[in-house]
Amino acid sequence: MKQPIVDLRSDTVTQPSPEMRRAMAEAEVGDDVFGEDPTVRRLQERVATLLGKEAALFVPSGSMANQTAIRAQTQPGDEIIAHADSHIYHYEAGGPAALSGCSMRLLEGPGGTFDADAVNAALRPKDSHFPQSALIVIENTHNRGGGTCWNLDEIARIREVADAQNLRMHLDGARLMNACVATGHKPPEYTQYFDTVSTCFSKGLGAPVGSVVAGTEATIRRVHRFRKMFGGGMRQAGVIAAAALYAIEHNIDRLADDHANAKRLAEGAARATHISVDPDAVETNIVFLDVDASVTTAAALAEQLRGRGVLMLATGPQRLRAVTHLDVSSDQIDAAIAAICQTADTV
């Protein structure tokens, strides 16, 4: 394989910068299981403030962040209301069922979103025959929805339904900072409506590992217990917490560059034959390219693009996903567009 022109498989492939590595090497550390790592404590306090919550807990991954939040707010036999394309349903190994004993009530809606009316219609009767609705999960931005940002007013309406029915709400904010940069909303404008929030450092923010869960002090104490139960207790974790601190201090505003690159990629790829792309649908850093089924498959096209040094993921029989990030330059976007057009013209 040629040296990759650009790796667009995911924003998880980013490499820590020399400055981030320096921060990691110089981090003050302690035993985090004992609550004694000063860098982890500083990160948790910083993120709790950023998200407008009382407390936060550092965890190894976004999946653990979501799953500990779910476990802390449900009991076996409960039902979780979420979009049919949600990350917690597709990409977390059946965690809600295996780890919390919860079933899923899956809703439809454009771009990974749904509305308050759909939530109302999905609520179970207060009857012993049924699983009990307990938790609403919203993913913002929405991965399988194409990096879409949720409407703030709709979240507020869903919160009203949750309050009326005594349900809790969790925000899967793995790419929350992308939503904030794209919409201009501050994080607390979104997070005020949620009992718990997860956010990830190892995607567009460029850290090598780590996520947080934020919420009330009481809820985060429960999350802490389940982090231990699920095997997420770390020792001298300040080494990686330092990378997360560097990321939130230096890499949030620059997400706008990724969004601009994604839009330009979509506009360029839209000129290719046998590929359909909607540049107007690109809100953040995720682009979907739909391949003409009469010509080839997404997997076959992805393999041909790999031969030209461009890496993408086939997320369906005819769909390719491209994700821009801090390790993709403007020049690399130009090269990727050229490779896409050349490849599509020859299939």
Every domain of the chain and the residues it spans: 18-250, 254-346
User: Taking Cα atoms as reference points, which of 340, 293, 299 lies closest to residue 316?
Assistant: 299
Q: Name the β-bridge partners of 200.
A: 211
Residue 161, H or E segment: helix 152-165
CATH class given for the domain over 18-250 = alpha beta
pTM: predicted TM-score of the whole model, two decimal places: 0.96
- Would you call 87 exposed, middle or buried from its count of C-beta atoms within 10 A (0-12, 13-18, 19+)? buried
State how far the Cα of 89 lies from the Cα of 308, in Å rounded to an integer: 34
DSSP 205-228: T--SS-EEEEE-HHHHHHHHHHHH
Contact between 210 and 59 (Cβ < 8 Å): yes
Assess whether the region 18-250 and the region 254-346 belong to the same CATH fold.
Answer: no
Contact between 347 and 44 (Cβ < 8 Å): no
- Digit-by-digit pLDDT tens for the chain (347 residues) are 445 689 999 999 999 999 999 999 999 999 999 999 999 999 999 999 999 999 999 999 999 999 999 999 999 999 999 999 999 999 999 999 999 999 999 999 999 999 999 999 999 998 899 999 999 999 999 999 999 999 999 999 999 999 999 999 999 999 999 999 999 999 999 999 999 999 999 999 999 999 999 999 999 999 999 999 999 999 999 999 999 999 999 999 999 999 999 999 999 999 999 999 999 999 999 999 999 999 999 999 999 999 999 999 999 999 999 999 999 999 999 999 999 999 988 87
Q: Name the β-bridge partners of 135.
A: 80, 168
State how far the Cα of 190 lies from the Cα of 122, in Å rounded to an integer: 23
Contact between 3 and 337 (Cβ < 8 Å): no
Could you tell me whether strands 168-173 and 196-200 are parallel, antiparallel, or unpaired per DSSP bridges? parallel
The CATH H-level (homologous superfamily) assignment of domain 254-346 is Aspartate Aminotransferase, domain 1 (3.90.1150.10)
User: Other C-beta atoms within 10 Å of 12: how many?
Assistant: 15
Residue in the block written with tokens 């850290």 = 207
